[in-house]
Structure 1
Amino acid sequence: MSERTYHHGDLRRAVLTAALDVIRTDGPSALSLRDLARRAGVSHAAPAHHFKDRSGLLTAIATEGYDLLAATLADAPDLRERGVHYVRFAVGHPAHFQVMFQPDLYRPDDPELLAAKARATEELRAGVADRTPAEDAGLMGIAAWSIAHGFATLLLSHNLDRPVGDRDAEEVFRALTGVTFRTQPAGSRVGDDTMQE
């Protein structure tokens, strides 16, 4: 490694930041350790010192993402707000979000990743356990996660640009969950125009 590499400061953070920028604009497939080294202003071998390879780098990004998600969810007072915070995380950390749910990109058995994922899962489950009988908690957890994850994914892929418009995405999600979980009269139809252009 060059002298510049040793005195770069927080090289690990610099490479992660550069990788997140690439993922945000061009997706994970555009990542190259050599390109990231150039962006971070270090020798081409420097990123491998911290991450070994591309898979190691993406594992670090997924791990950081799950830690950030757990911290974001921990501040939520109830199940609905956990969903809102999940959407907030996805919007605030779109590159992490892209990587976290593609386990073919990283090492899914990495101990640090598994620990971070467990923390995030526990935070997701906490909101369900407070309001659901134990026998229904698993299914309710899947339902709640599906709604928040689906909304966040559609939002980030611009499939909700028209239905959401200029409204605050978090407020739209709150309204969505209110409508979804409210008892509807027989024959009523909610959100029929969602998919219409």
Structure 2
Amino acid sequence: MSNSSSEHERTYHHGDLRRAILSAALDAISAEGPAALSLRDLARRAGVSHAAPAHHFKDRTGLLTAVAAEGYALFADALAGAPDLRERGVAYVRFAATHPAHFQVMFQPDLYRADDPDLLSAQARATDALRAGVADLPPGGRGEDDRLAGVAAWSLAHGFATLLLSGNLADATEGRDPEVVFRSLTGLIFTPENRRDG
């Protein structure tokens, strides 16, 4: 069995083995959540020796750090392509729906090395994209505190995405496209006529 695993590993080219292990990790997280992730199981899923994941990621925390860093990089790209705050929120929800395993890991900093340089860089890009969306709001649409407006927008998008992934919005969305529903929700909050200043 170890011979066939070694032969299988040799068929991977430059970086493909690392990608195969990451892909296996994402499949496992989607199916069972990050708590169930083990390097030995990943090796079996990827069809490689049990030492291969440790060679590329050192340990489980290293693997989850790579998942989070990749997730934040993809997330930053998705947010940066949106023209305004509402569409950044839609991109947020879309990202969670299309990358549920990344999303599960990204917002659990106890799972990964929060000081990882690649992770920090990707997180900073995502944060900048979210803040740019708030900065683009007209002054009357964001209140007196840009930071709190950002927290409000983040809370709405993250809360909606989390409820969507956990299956808690089925009744509320009634079969409608979640992105359309989310756009409607943003209209309830970020419009001058619906927002009351103290």
Q: Kindly provide the CA deviation profile for residues 79-130 of structure 1, in whole angstroms up to 9, marking residues without a partner as x.
A: 1000000000000100000000000000011111101100111111110111
State the shift of 1:16 in Å. 0.6
Q: Which amino acid aligns with 1:34?
A: R
Q: Say whether 1:144 aligns with 2:144.
A: no
Query: Aligned partner of 2:83: which letter?
Result: P
Q: Aligned pair 1:168/2:172, yes or no?
A: no
SS across alignment from 2:145: helix
Shift of 1:25: 1.0
| TM-score of the pair, normalised by structure 1 | 0.89
Q: For 1:109 and 1:7, how far apart are their aligned partners in 2?
A: 34
Between the aligned partners of 1:96 and 1:165, the Cα distance in structure 2 is 26
Q: Secondary structure at the match of 1:151?
A: helix
Within 5 Å, which residues of 2 pair with 1:102-181?
102-131=108-137, 133=139, 136-181=145-190
Shift of 1:3: 4.6
The match for 2:73 is 67
- Rounded to whole Å, the distance in 2 between the matches of 1:122 and 1:114 is 12
Q: Any stretches of 5+ residues in structure 2 without a counterpart?
A: none
Q: Distance in 2 between matches of 1:5 and 1:42?
A: 6
Q: Verify the 8 A CA contact 2:189 2:195 in the aligned structure 1.
A: no
Secondary structure of the 1:2 match is helix
2:54 is the counterpart of 1:54: no
Distance (whole Å) between structure 2 residues aligned to residue 184 and residue 8 of structure 1? 57
Identical amino acids, percent of aligned pairs: 70
Equivalent in the alignment of 1:7: 11
Letter in 1 for 2:172: P
TM-score (norm. length: structure 2): 0.89
The aligned length equals 186
Runs of at least 4 residues off by over 6 Å: none
For residue 2 of structure 1, what is the amino acid of its counterpart? S
One-letter amino acid matched to 2:71: G
1:34-66 CA deviation, whole Å, 9 max, x = no partner?
Answer: 111111111110011110000000000000000
Amino acid at match of 2:26: L
